[in-house]
Amino acid sequence: MNVWRRLSGPRRALALAGAGVLVAGGLVTIPVTAAQAATQCDIAYSANEWPGGFTASITIKNVGDPINGWTLGWTFPNSGQRVQQGWSAEFTQSGSQVTARSLSYNGTLATGASTSIGFNGAWSGSNPKPTSFTLNGVTCNGGTTPPTTPPPTGSKVDNPYAGVRGYVNPEWKTKADAEPGGSRISNNPTAVWLDRIAAINGTPDSSSNGAFGVRDHLEEALRQGAGYIQFVIYNLPGRDCAALASNGELGPNDLPRYKAEYIDPIAAIQADPKYRNIRIINIIEIDSLPNLVTNTSGQAGGTAMCDTVKANGAYVNGVGYALAKLGTLGNVYNYIDAAHHGWIGWDTNFGPTADLLKTAAVASGSTVANVHGFIVNTANYSALREPYVKITDTVNGTSVRQSKWIDWNFYVDELSFAQAFRQKLVQVGFDANIGMLIDTSRNGWGGTARPTGPGATTSVDTYVNGGRIDRRIHAGNWCNQSGAGLGERPRSAPEPGIDAYVWVKPPGESDGSSELIPNDEGKGFDRMCDPTYTGNARNGNSATGALPNAPISGAWFSAQFQELMRNAYPAL
Ligand code: BGC
């Protein structure tokens, strides 16, 4: 029992990532079919109004033959209703009649395809919705009955990833496309990391941050017709308290700045009704709360910074504030980071982490209703499944839990862990409908080193080490892991309880520099990223398995990107 306690407490592996998706709830779509015409259309019109003004969003769905160039028309019921400034179409108004023409990039609509446009308008008297629309002169009969106020929180969709296309970050795509073979994966949605205050408005393209700010990404998402976009909220005071590679700009006592200069401006942009038809998914604060469970005083991984931010409430209150501000928006979905099985898969960590997540979810005026779900394995490398090692397996009467690799953990892969942790979270008071996300960006472990069957039954160690998909030296290793491959491509509802496999850590972005590199981002040098380091108590004093010549966290790491593609599983 002592051995179990000693070994189980400090296990962890850092991971970083984020994602986000939104849906403007309350959109009413009325299918309409034009008689005896090849043109058939569904129009969804929604408006958000205030005295004298409104913003309208219109989604045009082509349910007829393919269209090449479209003109949408409608008549405002009231003579005081005017289009003032529109987007994603060319608008003209004559009297009460409005015409919106497609632009060069959104005129082609295959059967079943949709595109969204919108405008800011003015009204006097009243602002009723148009009752009928035409597309290329053909009536989309039936009209619409749109809501005029944002939907209440309760009306969020259950799974914001379902049935819609994800936003492709053009800044990541450009880097991926510049790599030989990169275009094979560059159309996948990856998360946008808001890893410093300056990222909100965008910065001149530096080594690890983009020129696009939050609004630029949302505008681009509208242009892409994306159904969801993923942001990582990642800037807590005293960030990354147990490691150095992703330390941030805010000191441990900077909670007021976190609220006023970081969360509030992000919430203000996400609340813009222009974006209400996009499901905005926020991945909340990677690695933060689990560090308070496993890496404070008296534990093998304990640090003074983790003690400080636990004692002053910076993490709990910061996460609570972010949830409260962002979660009340009708089209915003919060998923809190919940580490991974190689960190909290021991009983000593499992329950206490769930309890702490609950504490944060009701801090700073938040309620559990602001939490749509949780993400595991963010920026980590744990395999999704271990087909040749089950946690219940025994070798010559000895449980595989006694192997050096598993080390008494109760889980051996992320899928079983995510599903079990989901149940635990419901048990401690989260909504029964919460969904889990699994970051599969780098947990593929394909290539020639991938086992094709169980290991030899000489001992639990030969059995586990020979058969495990995860080829790391130690499950606590987390930085730029050598031999890793891309995992499952992003997709929704892959397994019960799982809302999506996501790519939160953008493949090709470093976890940390392999030697000290001065920078102005607050990033430190963590020896877990140094391939010559022989480890510490947290990784069983093992070699780090990190790739050499790595740039600072977030910066493009071409050699790693190439290896991830080579070792992809499923293969590219
Ligand atoms: C870094 C961030 C970066 C993110 C995604 C983190 O490790 O600290 O700056 O945006 O990874 O690559």
The residues with which 46 forms a beta bridge, in sequence order, are: 57
C-alpha 555 – ligand 1 centre gap (Å): 8
18 Cβ closer than 6 Å to some ligand 1 atom: no
Domain(s) of CATH 2.60.40.290: residues in the chain = 28-140
- The domain 28-140 having CATH identifier 2.60.40.290: the answer here is yes
Instruction: Tell me: pLDDT of 506 over 80.
Output: yes
Atom 5 of ligand 1: nearest residue by CA position: 554
Query: Residue 64 has which token pair?
Result: 């007829």
C-alpha 299 – ligand 1 centre gap (Å): 26
For 253-269, the pLDDT digits (tens) are: 999 999 999 999 999 99
Q: Return the DSSP state at 165.
A: P
Atom 8 of ligand 1: nearest residue by CA position: 246
Question: What is the pLDDT averaged over residues 85-112?
Answer: 88
Query: Residue 520 has which token pair?
Result: 């102005």
Domain(s) of CATH 3.20.20.40: residues in the chain = 170-388+411-450+471-566
The reported pLDDT for the residue numbered 113 is: 87
Atom 3 of ligand 1: nearest residue by CA position: 554
Say how far apart CA 443 and CA 377 lie, in whole Å.
9
Burial zone of 531 (CB within 10 Å; 0-12 exposed, 13-18 middle, 19+ buried): middle
**Catalytic site residue 511?**
yes
> Nearest-CA neighbor of 565 among 191, 186, 190, 17?
186
C-alpha 558 – ligand 1 centre gap (Å): 15
In the block, tokens 């749109």 appear at 146
The reported pLDDT for the residue numbered 28 is: 32
Give the lowest-confidence range in 54-68, 183-197, 348-362, 532-546. Answer: 54-68
From 195, 240, 254, 287, active-site residue: 287
Q: What confidence category does residue 537 fall into, taking pLDDT thresholds of 50, 70 and 90?
A: confident
Atom 4 of ligand 1: nearest residue by CA position: 554
- With H, G, I as helix, E, B as strand and everything else as coil, classify residue 505: coil
Mutate to test the pocket of ligand 1, among 509, 519, 552 (most ligand atoms within 8 A of CB): 509
506 Cβ closer than 6 Å to some ligand 1 atom: yes
Mutate to test the pocket of ligand 1, among 14, 208, 236, 375 (most ligand atoms within 8 A of CB): 208
Question: What is the pLDDT averaged over residues 63-84?
Answer: 88
Instruction: Tell me: pLDDT of 36 over 60.
Output: no
Question: What is the pLDDT averaged over residues 104-109?
Answer: 88
Amino acid at 450: R
Instruction: Tell me: pLDDT of 468 over 80.
Output: yes
Give the lowest-confidence range in 1-10, 155-164, 402-411, 550-559. Answer: 1-10
Q: Which atom of ligand 1 is nearest to the CA of 240?
A: 8
Give the lowest-confidence range in 121-125, 277-281, 548-552. Answer: 121-125
Question: What is the pLDDT averaged over residues 457-463?
Answer: 98
> Nearest-CA neighbor of 188 among 554, 485, 505?
505
195 Cβ closer than 6 Å to some ligand 1 atom: yes
CATH superfamily of 170-388+411-450+471-566: 1, 4-beta cellobiohydrolase (3.20.20.40)
Instruction: Tell me: pLDDT of 148 over 70.
Output: no
Question: What is the pLDDT averaged over residues 102-130?
Answer: 89
Atom 12 of ligand 1: nearest residue by CA position: 554
Mutate to test the pocket of ligand 1, among 246, 286, 517 (most ligand atoms within 8 A of CB): 246
159 Cβ closer than 6 Å to some ligand 1 atom: no
**Catalytic site residue 287?**
yes
Tell me the pTM. 0.76
Q: What confidence category does residue 166 fall into, taking pLDDT thresholds of 50, 70 and 90?
A: very high
Q: What confidence category does residue 97 fall into, taking pLDDT thresholds of 50, 70 and 90?
A: confident
Instruction: Tell me: pLDDT of 446 over 80.
Output: yes
Atom 9 of ligand 1: nearest residue by CA position: 554
The reported pLDDT for the residue numbered 418 is: 98
Contact 464, 399 (CB under 8 A): no
C-alpha 408 – ligand 1 centre gap (Å): 31
Q: What confidence category does residue 205 fall into, taking pLDDT thresholds of 50, 70 and 90?
A: low
Contact 505, 16 (CB under 8 A): yes
504 Cβ closer than 6 Å to some ligand 1 atom: no
519 Cβ closer than 6 Å to some ligand 1 atom: no
From 254, 407, 499, 511, active-site residue: 511
Give 48's contacts (C-beta < 8 A, 6+ positions apart).
54, 55, 56, 148, 149, 150, 273, 276
Q: Count other C-beta atoms under 10 Å from residue 383's C-beta.
A: 25
The reported pLDDT for the residue numbered 538 is: 86
Q: What confidence category does residue 206 fall into, taking pLDDT thresholds of 50, 70 and 90?
A: low
Mean pLDDT taken over the chain:
89
C-alpha 361 – ligand 1 centre gap (Å): 24
The residues with which 395 forms a beta bridge, in sequence order, are: 398
Say how far apart CA 364 and CA 264 lie, in whole Å.
14
Q: What confidence category does residue 25 fall into, taking pLDDT thresholds of 50, 70 and 90?
A: very low
For 295-326, the pLDDT digits (tens) are: 999 888 799 999 999 999 999 999 999 999 99
Contact 475, 395 (CB under 8 A): no
Query: Residue 193 has which token pair?
Result: 């990391």
C-alpha 48 – ligand 1 centre gap (Å): 35
The reported pLDDT for the residue numbered 141 is: 63
C-alpha 511 – ligand 1 centre gap (Å): 7
499 Cβ closer than 6 Å to some ligand 1 atom: no
Atom 10 of ligand 1: nearest residue by CA position: 554
Q: What confidence category does residue 31 fall into, taking pLDDT thresholds of 50, 70 and 90?
A: very low
507 Cβ closer than 6 Å to some ligand 1 atom: no
φ, ψ of residue 270 in degrees (nearest 5): -65, -25
Say how far apart CA 561 and CA 558 lie, in whole Å.
5
208 Cβ closer than 6 Å to some ligand 1 atom: yes
Q: Which atom of ligand 1 is nearest to the CA of 512?
A: 7
C-alpha 134 – ligand 1 centre gap (Å): 47
C-alpha 193 – ligand 1 centre gap (Å): 7
CA 247 to centroid of chain Cα atoms: 20
The reported pLDDT for the residue numbered 209 is: 60
